[in-house]
Structure 1
Amino acid sequence: MNTNIPSQLQPFIQMVDFIGMAMGNNCEVVLHDVSKIEHSIVAIKNNHISNRKVGGSLTDLALKILKDKSYEEKDFLINYSGKTQDGKILRSSTFFIKDEYGNVIGMLCLNMDVSKIVETRNLLDSLISGISTKNQNSTYLDENLPTNEDGPMEDLSTSIEELTSSIILRTIAETNIPPYRMSANEKMDVVKQLNEKGVFLIKGAVSEVALHLKTSEATVYRYLNKI
C-alpha cells in the first residue's frame, strides 16, 4: 500500500490496471488525487496515449470542475471530447470519487483514443459522397464526438506549466485583442474567465497571468479582489 495516497483512493489503484487491461491499449486509465493539483496523477495505465505519467497534473477540465463544484450535482461525466498534445482525438469519461461529505477527493478517468476511427469514418464519408467536407490532414474533429450536455473539451497537457500557459493563451486568444491593446476592464475580464476556469488554484499562476497580460502581479491580485 502506498502511504502517500489517501486510503479512500487505494482500492481504485487496482481498478486502473484492471480497466486498462480489459479495455485494451487504446484506452488510457488515470487516477487523480485532487488534493495535489500540480502532481495529481497517482496511477495510470496505457499512458502512451497522452504521454503523461505518475506525478503529472490535473487537466483544464478537472480544474474547472473543482472551481465550480459541478461534481456536487452529478457523480460522473460521460463521453466528452478531449485531445492530447500531439493531436490524438479522445472520447473521455470521468467518475468522481467522493468522501462521506460529498466532497470530491479523486477522479477516475478513461480516455479512449478514437483518432483512427474518426479518420476511417471521414474516408468512408468521402468515398460515399465523393466529396470530403473535412480536411483530411486535420485531427481536430471534436464536433463529431459525443459530448455531455455541457459540451466540455479537455486538454491533456503533460505538465502543469504547459497546462497553465495553454489555458491562459487560449483565453486571451478568444478575446481577439492583444494584451498590449487591452483596457483595464478587458484585462480584468480575462482574469475573471481564468478564475472561473480554476487557473488560480495552480501555484504560481498569478505571475504567469501577469506575464501574459503585460501587467504586474499586484494588478492581477487587485482584479481578483474586485471579482
Structure 2
Amino acid sequence: MTTQTAMKEAARALAQDSARQTYESAEEILRLYRPVMRALATAAGPSVEVVLHNLDGADVDLGHTIMAIENGHVTGRAVGGPSTNLGLDVMKDRQKDHDAFGYRGVTSDGRELRCSSVYFHNAAGDIIASFCINVDLSPLQQARNMLEALLPAPATQGDAPQEHFGTDMESVMDQIIAEAIAEIGRPVAQMTRDDRILVLDKLDQRGVTQMRKSIPTIAKRLNISRVTAYSYLDEARSRG
C-alpha cells in the first residue's frame, strides 16, 4: 500500500469515528487525537503533515486555528498558524458534511499536495475541529522524473532499432516473430493472406528468414504450412 493510499484510509477511518461520536470541545479532541497525529506522522515520514485545527466558537479566527501540527515544514506552518481557504467554506455551513479525501492542494512555493480532511462535531451538530493530512508529492514526483530520464522513450517508426535479448538465438528469433505479428494489429486467427505475407516481409527485412530453422518456426506461428510460408516469402520479395 502506498503512503498516499495509507493516509487516505487513515483519514476515512477517522471520518467514520467522528461520524459516530460528538465532542464537547476542540480541547477534548486534542487530548484524544494528539498521540494519533504523532503516530501517523512518524510512520508516514517527513513528507506527511498532520494538522488539528480548532474551529470551535461563534467567532473563529481563521488566521490562528492550528492547535497541533506534525511535520509543519511541509507547508511552513506551526501551532497558532492559519487555516486554508477551505476553512471559509466550513464556516458558511458548520453542520454540513465537509469531509474530503485525496483532493489536491498547493503550497505557497508551488509544491503539490494530496490532502484529506475530517471534521468533528459537537452535540448540536456544529463543526468544532478538523483533522487534516497533507502529503507532499514533490519527493515522489522527483523520483518519477529520475526514472523517466533513465527509461527509454517509447519507440516510434524511424527510431533506433530495438535490441532483443535471449538465452539462445531461437528465443531471440521467437521474440522478433512475435513483434512482427503484433505490428499487424490483429490475432493470427483473424489474419488475412495479405497480413501473413506482410509478416513474412517484415521478418525478411529484419534478416530473420536468414536464420536457421526460421521458416518452420514462422509457419508454425502463422498457422500455415512450410510450403505456404515459402510461397508467401517469395511473393513478399516480388512485391518489394
TM-score, normalising length: structure 1: 0.49
Bigger CA radius of gyration: 2
- Structure having the higher helix fraction is 2
Q: TM-score, normalised by structure 2?
A: 0.46
